[in-house]
Structure 1
Amino acid sequence: MDGAADHIGERGYEQLRRAAETHRSDLVLRLGAEVGLRPAEMTAVRLADITEFEGHRLLAVRDGNEVVRETYLPDSVEHDIRKYANAAGTDDDEPLVSVSPRRLQMLVSEVADRAADAAPHLQEVSTRDLRWRFAASLLDDGVPPDVVCALGGWDRLTRLEPLLDEPDRETIVAAVDGSDERAAPSESRRALDWITTVSEALAAAATGEAIATAVCDHLTETAGFEFAWLAERTGDGLTLRTTTEISESAVEHQIHEHIESVTAPLDVGEVRVVDDSAGPVALVPLVRENTVSGVIGVGSREGLTDAERAVLSALGVQVGHAQVAAERKRLLLADTVTELEFHCADERTFTAGVSGALQCTVELSGVVPVAGQSLLYYLMVDGASAESVLSYADADDGVTDARLLEEHSDGLLLEVVVTDTPALQLVESGGRVRSVTATDGVATIAVELPSEADIRPTVNAVTDAYPETSLAAKRETERPAETETGFRDRLTDTLSDRQETVLQAAYHSGYFEWPRGSTAEELADSLDVSSPTLHNHLRKAQQKVLTAFFDDRPTEPRQPTDN
């Protein structure tokens, strides 16, 4: 294990704990170095989040109100947590530490300053160093790197690379002949080496096609696998995108021979291995937007090690992220895009169904892709009551949530989470939804795709999944490029002088930082305005900035009076 990455070390950690002058300070050190929590996660710890499993304690780690992972809780740390909660009179469902994450960072710095009197190398210790100590101690105990990642909330195995040693001769020999249990770190190091190389190749690839080619090439050239191929889900089947060291016909034969294993739903993180005439083939889920969108097939002579399974699983997520990022960047920067218009009469889709059932009109105001294979729709509805629309949404299997945001004379504004709509497949294919309107049971969906994209798989996937949907129009659209200066000028034209002044003052005074460098009251005093006036100007200015960024429509022209 590389001691340079773990600045604290076992003895240094003991010195830090001796320098902690309060029970809270010591507990914060332990939550970082023995449980692997970040400062924000420490502030969310509650007694109610501690559970028991087969005689061991686990802690549900929260990001705000959402549980993001479980980690192992040593018995002695649990004892200290309960002791602290009892002394503070904290209820089971109350946060254990009622201070800000920034205050916890400062607390660790204060302890480090005191410890530095006896151990100068501890002077700059931070909460991040505590988490390095956590990872280093687990790796020293032989815990596999992928488990360490899961416990500490690291998203990639490469995060732990600084903590892993280059193997010596004894380790190399032991790993080759399998005579020593120390082979595992060598396997992990090798896997980390090749995934690092693949990651660099993905970063350099600018298109989805280049990403698919890069990952397959490096899996065979760098990682030493026999062959690799990548296929994406289109409708109910798979479309082969690229192959390396294996012919397309051979891959098609593999898919045909193992059709159930290849097409059966893969869970995120699962790596399935099938026995083929060419040898074991690992099926790695390609994950986009937290949804399995395809398969990476990898050939191996002797199956996979645990480290290779873990790294391949992480690679499937990484490739998906790279594809989504490349497609979005290409779409945002494109001067010319392909606009597709679909007509959908499928009542399974909420917009078409509700417009027909309630004889109303529906128009999309905004859309946000969210995790879990769903879209967050913001819909304007005219011609139906809020009660009837929400009742329809509640009975719709393709809607997981709906709520009324506004109700006024010209209609309703609703937020609806939809999971069954052609728009979702279009977004997953790299498209950008431009508009959705629905009336008399027919929804019109307009979406933009990069002009060089092959639209046939996308269109086929939509029409196969929704037979009552058809492609109504296809056109190439020119989009004028806007320079940074042009964007600023356009934004400045929409802001009143007072709004711009307040926004600049808030920015430079640290009002938007966390923790805030200035409070609203302090900022109002500096500008010699009342707090309500400040909030009014600031809210309107923020709205105009966000409108300019998220909305392609021109923002409102400046009014002659300051409102």
Structure 2
Amino acid sequence: MIVIADISVSADQFPLGRILEAYPSVEIELERLVPLQDGIIPLFWVSDGDSAAIEETLRDDPLTNSVTRLTQTNSRVLFEVEWGPEVNGLVQALLRSDARLLAAEGTADIWDFRIQFDTRADMAHFRRLCTDAEISLTLRRLYNPMLPEESGALSNEQYEALVTAFRAGYFEVPRASKMSDLAAGFGVSDSAFSQRIRRGISSLIAETLMPEFGHRGQRADPVSWNVDTDNR
């Protein structure tokens, strides 16, 4: 059964938090982690900070191979950073446990994550990896969600496209971001990104407003912490 965990870690135990600890007022939203053969690419939004100074700090860090500013809207900047293979700790624990990062945001003090695991065993593996790396986790909430039927569910690509577009102000009037900039952040054409948006919206309408065309999503029920995932 799928398990979703809300956890918190101190910022110094996550690379982005450690790198940007000199900017206490900055807020960061991690969009996704992309594993590469010889490294890892995080895509993240930075809000309420000196973007030029932040970019310079990112470039100067020994963990980063490259830094790209993808797009900017109001006070938010979308960065793409390539980390070298030596990045470890929480990042490697997420990748090695096949966890799906649903949401992540943080400041110079603390980071909050929402992580999906295919099974409780995968979550226990993640916990053990963090323990071995001396990473202290705080579990805030645990869920066993009911999944919607496949025919009506959003794909991962549609979900990420909709969330990114919403956070970038694409659905505001007037729009705060361009389709071309958002598409560039995903490395796809304007047409391909537009299709993800349209199909994602169609799936959401089918599931929420017209359930006769799709299975109505069910709320996740909180469950108690299971001893078999406790720290060892």
Tell me whether the two structures share a fold, i.e. TM-score over 0.5: yes
Q: Which of 388, 413, 435 does residue 103 from structure 2 map onto?
A: 435
| Residue 186 of structure 2: aligned partner | none
Distance 1:454 1:427, change over 3 A: closer
| Residue 18 of structure 2: aligned partner | 353
Deviations 1:113-165 (A, max 9, x none): xxxxxxxxxxxxxxxxxxxxxxxxxxxxxxxxxxxxxxxxxxxxxxxxxxxxx
Q: CA deviation at 1:429?
A: 1.7
Deviations 1:413-472 (A, max 9, x none): 11112334513322212211222211133222332223331644432322432x4x3221
Q: CA deviation at 1:355?
A: 3.8
Distance 1:420 1:395, change over 3 A: farther
Paired AA for residue 65 in structure 2: T
| Residue 175 of structure 2: aligned partner | none
Higher helix share: 1
Is 1:453 aligned to residue 121 of structure 2? Answer: yes
Q: CA deviation at 1:477?
A: 1.9
CA distance in 2, matches of 1:484, 1:429: 24
Q: Secondary structure at the match of 1:470?
A: coil
Paired AA for residue 62 in structure 2: D
Deviations 1:260-284 (A, max 9, x none): xxxxxxxxxxxxxxxxxxxxxxxxx
| Residue 417 of structure 1: aligned partner | 82
CA distance in 2, matches of 1:546, 1:357: 41
Q: Are the aligned partners of 2:4 and 2:114 in contact in 1 as well (CA < 8 Å)? A: no
Q: Are the aligned partners of 1:434 and 1:447 in contact in 2 as well (CA < 8 Å)? A: yes
User: Between Structure 1 and Structure 2, whose CA radius of gyration is higher?
Assistant: 1
Q: Secondary structure at the match of 2:103?
A: strand
What is the TM-score normalised by the length of structure 2?
0.59
CA distance in 2, matches of 1:460, 1:541: 41
Paired AA for residue 195 in structure 2: Q
Q: CA deviation at 1:380?
A: 0.6
Q: How do 1:275-294 residues align onto structure 2 when only pairs under 5 Å count?
A: none
Paired AA for residue 416 in structure 1: V
Distance 1:386 1:422, change over 3 A: same
Paired AA for residue 74 in structure 2: S
Distance 1:379 1:475, change over 3 A: same
Q: Are the aligned partners of 1:382 and 1:411 in contact in 2 as well (CA < 8 Å)? A: yes
| Residue 341 of structure 1: aligned partner | 7
| Residue 378 of structure 1: aligned partner | 43
Is 1:480 aligned to residue 146 of structure 2? Answer: yes
Q: Are the aligned partners of 1:423 and 1:445 in contact in 2 as well (CA < 8 Å)? A: no
CA distance in 1, matches of 2:88, 2:49: 22
What is the TM-score normalised by the length of structure 1?
0.27
Where do 5+ consecutive residues of structure 2 fail to align?
Answer: 159-188, 209-232
Superposed CA RMSD: 3.4
Q: CA deviation at 1:400?
A: 2.3
Q: Secondary structure at the match of 1:356?
A: coil
Deviations 1:315-361 (A, max 9, x none): xxxxxxxxxxxxxxxxxxx4x314251413326x3321244212211
CA distance in 2, matches of 1:431, 1:345: 20
Where do 5+ consecutive residues of structure 1 fail to align?
Answer: 1-333, 492-534, 558-563
CA distance in 2, matches of 1:486, 1:341: 29
Q: Are the aligned partners of 1:337 and 1:476 in contact in 2 as well (CA < 8 Å)? A: yes
CA distance in 2, matches of 1:437, 1:453: 25
| Residue 209 of structure 1: aligned partner | none
Paired AA for residue 27 in structure 2: T
Q: Are the aligned partners of 2:97 and 2:126 in contact in 1 as well (CA < 8 Å)? A: yes
Distance 1:463 1:400, change over 3 A: farther
| Residue 35 of structure 2: aligned partner | 369
Q: Secondary structure at the match of 1:448?
A: strand
Q: Which of 39, 61, 68 does residue 403 from structure 1 map onto?
A: 68
CA distance in 1, matches of 2:199, 2:35: 18
Q: Secondary structure at the match of 1:357?
A: coil
| Residue 6 of structure 1: aligned partner | none
CA distance in 2, matches of 1:346, 1:454: 25
Percent identical: 17
Q: Secondary structure at the match of 2:92?
A: helix
CA distance in 1, matches of 2:32, 2:16: 13
Paired AA for residue 409 in structure 1: N
Q: Secondary structure at the match of 1:460?
A: helix
Distance 1:413 1:358, change over 3 A: same
| Residue 173 of structure 2: aligned partner | none
Q: CA deviation at 1:542?
A: 2.0
Paired AA for residue 396 in structure 1: D
Deviations 1:32-87 (A, max 9, x none): xxxxxxxxxxxxxxxxxxxxxxxxxxxxxxxxxxxxxxxxxxxxxxxxxxxxxxxx
Higher strand share: 2
CA distance in 2, matches of 1:433, 1:356: 22
Distance 1:358 1:476, change over 3 A: closer
Answer 1 or 2: higher relative contact order, Cα 8 Å, separation at least 6.
2
| Residue 193 of structure 1: aligned partner | none
Q: Are the aligned partners of 1:402 and 1:415 in contact in 2 as well (CA < 8 Å)? A: yes
Distance 1:409 1:459, change over 3 A: same
